[in-house]
Structures are given as C-alpha cells and as structure tokens.
Chain A
C-alpha cells in the first residue's frame, strides 16, 4: 500500500467510530449484574414498616424491581408507564424507595397512584449500591430463580416495555 495513504486510512477508521459513537449514549453504563443472582436484602416496607421486603419471598416468580424516589423527575416521567403495566397484570412491579423521605414518598404515591404491590425502603442507598444503581429510576427484570436478566437505566417508556420487557417476561415465565 502507498504509505502516503496511511493517514487517510487511519482517519477513515476514526470517522467510522465517531459516527457509531453518535448513536451511543456515553452516560449509560451496562450493569455487570445482568446474568447474576439479584443481591439479597431485607428492607422495611414503606406502608408497613414492621414488615420486611426481601427478594427471597419472590422466588419462583418473574418480577420487576423498580428503584424510584419522590425527588426524581425521571420517575414522574415513567410513572404512567408503570401504572399501565401494573394494571395490565402481566408482571408485578416491586418498588424500592431510594434515599427518600417517608412522608414525601407516601404523598407521591397517594397523588400519582401506586403501581407496586410492595414498596421497600432504602433510606441509606445501600441496596442501591449493591444493585449498582447510579441514578433513579432504574428497573431490573428478575427471573424465577432470582437472577437479574435485564436492567433498564433511566425511565421506562411504552416502546421499551412492549419490545423488550414484556417479551423477556413471557420468555422467562415459560421457563
């Protein structure tokens, strides 16, 4: 090859990568936990602080774990989507109230509706750290054996629910 073409070739490669880069989101960090067992926890429940919420109780079920907070604006964006999904009864969504004030969280659910059968409280953010949460809302799909199969970073939208979450849930249900 003509050695004077070398700079051009390098440049072409860089441009291709930059072009691909434009379609990617640099702030989205894939979770290393997908395919691994969902970390155990036992947290007090939001409505009944005496009771404990633990993933161990949900063995044998396919379920979603949704980290949210009353102070989080993305959570409001995704909230109607969660309500629809919960009402459709296709998959239960369990909530984890992340670094929040109890009263505000209760008021928030009162005002916008509660899609969760059970809400756990993660006041100190430790469950969040164990799940690798770096910004709420984040949603995990967990299978019957308690393995994380998918992680949604940022708000869920109807499209993602239709095309990713529900097909995955159905597939996991049939296993």
Chain B
C-alpha cells in the first residue's frame, strides 16, 4: 500500500510539474498575473508530493518490504537501519528520486526567499525548475520506477553493495546532489533572465547567493567523496581522476568560474553574456555527469548498473534541456548590453583571466574524460586516459590561476596599475619565494614540484595577510575589533575560501612529496617502522558484525617507545554478495595520518600488511571544508540578509555608508 502511495505521489507530482512548467512561463510572457501566481503553490505542492514519495520509499526500506523490486535489490534483512535508509540512494532508481527530491527542495527554498523578486522573474524561475523536474519525473515513471513491485516478493534482499555500507554513504550523496542540483537555481535564474530579456545587475545580485550556496555543498560533497574513497578503498589514494569523479569536478570548476564571474556582473554589470553561459554550463555539466554515471558509456569504479534505454532517455533529456537553453542563449545573448567599462589590468580583468583558466581546466577534464569515447566512436582504437594525463595537464593550468588569485583582490575595479600592485605585493612575493625554496630543504627533500606547491600556498596566505592589513588600516573604528567588524563578511568569505585553497595545496604537496608506504609480511609480534612510527602486529581476531564476519587485526603503534595508538584494520566478508572488503584503520592527525590495511592472510597467522605514513593528508579535505566555510561567510554578508528581509533589493543607506567608508 505505502509504495503505491509513493508511486501515486510521483504521478501527481508529474502533473503538477507540467502545470508549473507551462502556465507561469506563459503567464509571464503575456503578463497574466493569475497564471504567474500558480508557480509558487505548484512548487510547494510538488515539494510535498516528492517528500511523500521519498518517505514512502524510506518506509519500504525500514519495513524491509522485499515485494518492492528496488528494496529487494539494494538491501537485506540483516542490513542495519541507517544503511537501509541510505540504501534509498544506493542505486539508480532511488538516487534519481533523491535528485528530484533535492530539486524540489531547492524549488521550495526559492519560494521562501524570493519575496523581493519581481513576479515575472519568480514565475519564470519556478517554471524552468518545474520543466527540469518534469523531465526527471518522466524518467522515473517510465524507465526507472523505484516503486516497481516484485511479485512474488523476494524472501530476502540482495543487499547493498558492501562498498556503500559506510557512514560516507549516508551523507556524501545528499551533499553532492545538493550541489549538483543547486546549480539548477542559477540555471533557472539565467534562463528566466534570458526569457525576460532583463539580464541586468539585479539578476546577478539575486543569483549570487544561490550559486554560492550550491557551490559550498558541491565542495563539501566532493571532499567527502574523496575522503570516503581514501579510507574505504583501502589503497590510500584520494583522487583517481575516474570519469565519475571528473563528472562531479567539472561542474565544480564551472561553478567556481561562475561564482567569480557573477562578482563582475554584480559589481560592474560587465560580462553578463559570459556569466549566463557559465550558469548554463554549470548545470549542464551536472546533467552530463548524471548521464555519464548512468548510461554505461564509460567504465568507472562508481558507475551504476546500466541500461541502454535509460542512457537514451537521459541523452534525449540532455539534448532538450541543454540544447534548448543554448539555443535560447544564441538567440537572446546578442541583444544584451555591455555594462561598465574597465581596463585590461583591473579587478574585472583578473577575474576574467581566472575564468579563462578555470574554464580551460574544465575543458581539459572534459576532453580527457570523453576522449576515449570519441576515439572509440570514430573507430580509431581504444585508449585509457588516466591520472598521469590529468596530472600533467591540470597542474600547469591551475598554477597561474592560483598565482592570479593572490593578486586579484588587490586590483581595483575599473583600472589598476601594475607597478602599484607590484609595490604592494613585493613583500608577500619575497617571503613566499624564499620560504618555498628553503622550507623543503629544512624538511630534508627538495623537488621542483614540492617547492612550487609550497610557493603557491604561501603566496595565497601572505597576500591574504597583506590584503587584510590594508583593509584594517583603512577601516574606520576606534579599536581593532571595531575595524574587524567593519570589514564586510563577503570579504572575509573570499579570504577564507582562498586560504582553504592554500590549505588544500599544502595537503596535496606534502602527501605527494613525503608520503611513504610499506608492503610487509607480518608475523604476530613482528614490527615494522614507517615515518618514525613503529607498528607491532598483535595478530587477528575473528569478529562478527551485523551482516558480515571479519578478521580484525590489532596494531600497537608507538613513537620513540611511547604508545601512540592502537589500530584495528579489518578484512570483512559480506556473505550475501560474497564480497571481501578491506576496512583500513587510520589514526588521523593534523600533521600526519597513519594508515594500516590488511592484505591477505599468509601462513602461521601472518598477514600481508600495507602501511602508510601520510603527512598532512587531512589538509586536503580540511582545505575543502575551509573553502566551503568561506562560501557560507560570503552568503551571510549583510547585503544578502538585507535583501531577503526587504521587499526590494535596494541598498539600505546605513549599509551603503559603511561600504563607502570601507572603500
């Protein structure tokens, strides 16, 4: 019964989506406010219906209802409740429902925070989102229905893939989808503006916080996925340039470019056409990712079980949504005005240069990801494009972008003078170069890459410090704390996000430069030393989990004779899918991770064991979280809060005077 309610809710939601995707847009075109007024209640109704469907599926999982095909395929009666619930998005159909649910969630958020938008704009935005959701609902109802019954019911389920039975599974996909789908808001804003022909600074101002929030989610989502791969796959890597990882990284690069380009459009009214294109691109790449993961055109560790019918559906959907928006773009963009003037060397110029680099990087990832497919389609042979390619192409593109990142915030809008920039930044530059050259020598190993990585990271931090000092020196206020408070949150956000990149770079550089690993054969009582830490193997014990049995090893780790920690890596066997999983044990630390994973049992209770010492590896994910924190700070800036509280986006005088003084 409950699954039928869910199924029915999906059908109703589709009907609502059809209405929401047509009437308000038509109403906006002909100026009929009654039709436009449908958008908001329709969006909320759709949210409610998908929520019902989502809860119904959740109930079927909690209730172990193996008469639902999807439940029987992705869970098992032995599977603990939290993983049964996470199994909602454990395979294709349910993750599509999650996608749609999050889409309606964003839609609902738009209805809540759009009081200050003109009615035509709001109804177009919600209309466009309704059309997107219509596509996904059609997809679910035709070829990927999560509520399909299995008659007769299975006695027990086939279980969730053991790889996915991890806390990471509970939060990584929702976060990632919040990011992917969040770009649909920026996309809807862009399409609405193109439809209405009112692509102005106000449009940029409105879509900026939405874009930033989506970007924050995507950043955290990707970081969590990477962290999960790090500890779950058991070989200590954190990024594999796998097609599916790339599929999440491309929207991130486009989204990062968009966040910066929106700044130009918002502040100076410039490059609107480019910003709109980026907004379309960011969401299109999210959709492309969905296609790549679900169609089976590329092989990936993460791909869903695939079905050509589904691939064809998503491809058609892609062609309509992206093709349609790009056609609209080609039609409308030529009529968009230019905005304020600025010189080549200016804040605008630098932000755009950064955009060129980010988009070139995005293009390279796209090229590398799709190239094997291109060659195969042209019958020119099969190739693999993997980490060595991406590493050698990506670094040279990103290094200048990061260098610019240090200078950009110092350049004035409209026109900046290079000699003046050089004067203000000479100390930061000197300090960075000297430290980057000397520091690796102090640490005992000098390589050009190590030095370059450190140079970029220190450069970001030192320029941030210099920038903040200048800011505080010019801010009004009797005390330091008063002046700190006078610096707008958006500026703090920018600083924090950039420093997040620095932290990230330190992590990557140090791990690549200094990590060490050992493959050893360990008998009970034997020791191995890595990175100054001594690991003593105290044998394995058999343990029984809720739905697996495992051999759990015990490793006493000591540093200089003193015990640091005890680690318990496991080799688990999940009987339902008869899969063996390696559960690494990690002792995380600010300056290093110790990582142990069990290989194979050898004779006499000995095991093959892999040990890693990974300096600064947690900085990789820490840096991402700091970036996202920066985004949150930027969104909490005064002017957005004011904009949401006010009916109209006009700047309140007091806020304006504060800013004037800051300038």
Contacts and interface: CB of A to CB of B under 8 A. Distances in A.
Given A8-B326, A15-B315, A15-B318, A22 B374 contact: no
A30 B319 contact: no
A35 to B, nearest CB: 14
26 contacts: A4-B273, A4-B329, A4-B330, A5-B330, A7-B326, A8-B327, A8-B329, A8-B330, A11-B284, A11-B322, A11-B326, A14-B370, A15-B318, A17-B370, A18-B297, A18-B318, A19-B315, A21-B295, A21-B377, A22-B297, A22-B308, A23-B308, A26-B296, A26-B372, A29-B382, A30-B382
Nearest to A15: B319
B101 to A, nearest CB: 26
Contacts of B299: 26-27
Interface in B304-333: 308, 311-312, 315, 318-319, 322-323, 326-327, 329-331, 333
Interface string B357-389: 000000000000010111011000110000000
Contacts of B118: none
Contacts of A4: 273, 329-331, 333-334
Interface string B274-311: 00010011001000000100011111000000001001
Contact of B297 (A11, A12, A24, A29): A24
A65 B579 CA distance: 32
Contacts of A7: 277, 280-281, 326, 329-330
Given A7-B277, A15-B318, A29-B382, 10 more contacts: A2-B330, A4-B273, A8-B327, A8-B329, A11-B323, A15-B315, A19-B315, A22-B296, A22-B315, A26-B299
Contacts of A15: 315, 318-319, 323
A24 B376 CA distance: 8
A20 interface: yes
Interface string A12-56: 101101111111101101100000000000000000000000000
Query: Which 6 pairs, one residue from A and one from B, show the smallest C-beta to C-beta distance?
Result: A21-B297, A20-B377, A8-B326, A4-B330, A5-B330, A21-B373
A17 B377 contact: yes
A4 B298 CA distance: 30
Contacts of A24: 297, 373, 376-377
A138 B223 CA distance: 41
A30 B334 contact: no
Interface of A: 2, 4-5, 7-8, 11-12, 14-15, 17-24, 26-27, 29-30
Nearest to A16: B377
Contacts of A27: 299
B303 to A, nearest CB: 10
Interface in B16-69: none
Contact of B298 (A2, A14, A26, A30): A26
A4 B334 CA distance: 7
Nearest to A29: B382
Given A4-B334, A24-B297, A26-B297, A18 B322 contact: no
Interface of B: 273, 277, 280-281, 284, 291, 295-299, 308, 311-312, 315, 318-319, 322-323, 326-327, 329-331, 333-334, 370, 372-374, 376-377, 381-382
Contacts of A21: 295, 297-298, 373, 376-377
A22 B311 contact: yes
Contacts of B319: 15
A20 to B, nearest CB: 4
A22 B297 CA distance: 6
B274 to A, nearest CB: 11
Contacts of B329: 4, 7-8
B283 to A, nearest CB: 13
A26 B330 CA distance: 34
Contacts of B291: 18
Contacts of B297: 18, 21-22, 24, 26
Nearest to A30: B382
A152 B393 CA distance: 36
A11 B324 CA distance: 11
Nearest to A14: B370
A41 to B, nearest CB: 26
Contacts of B376: 21, 24, 26
A24 B296 CA distance: 9
Contact of B373 (A2, A5, A17, A29): A17
In this complex, the member of A4, A21, A26, A30 whose beta carbon has the largest number of chain B beta carbons within 10 angstroms is A21
Contacts of B284: 11
Given A11-B322, A26-B299, A18 B330 contact: no
A151 to B, nearest CB: 13
Contacts of B330: 2, 4-5, 7-8
Contacts of A8: 323, 326-327, 329-330
Nearest to B384: A29
Contacts of A11: 284, 322-323, 326
Nearest to B309: A22
A28 to B, nearest CB: 8
A12 B323 contact: yes
Nearest to B284: A11
B323 A17 contact: no
A17 to B, nearest CB: 5
A112 to B, nearest CB: 24
A41 B459 CA distance: 61
Contacts of B333: 4
A23 to B, nearest CB: 8
Contacts of B315: 15, 18-19, 22
A4 to B, nearest CB: 4
Contacts of A19: 315
A24 B318 CA distance: 19
A129 B211 CA distance: 51
B373 A18 contact: yes
Contacts of A5: 330
A132 to B, nearest CB: 12
A40 to B, nearest CB: 26
Contacts of A30: 381-382
Q: Which of B326, B370, B382 has the most CB of A within 10 A?
A: B326
A43 B334 CA distance: 72
Contacts of B322: 11
B255 to A, nearest CB: 17
A14 B588 CA distance: 43
A118 to B, nearest CB: 32
Contacts of A23: 308
Contacts of B372: 26
A24 B295 CA distance: 11
Nearest to A8: B326
A21 B373 CA distance: 6
A14 to B, nearest CB: 7
Nearest to B333: A4
Contacts of B381: 30
Nearest to A24: B376
A22 B326 contact: no
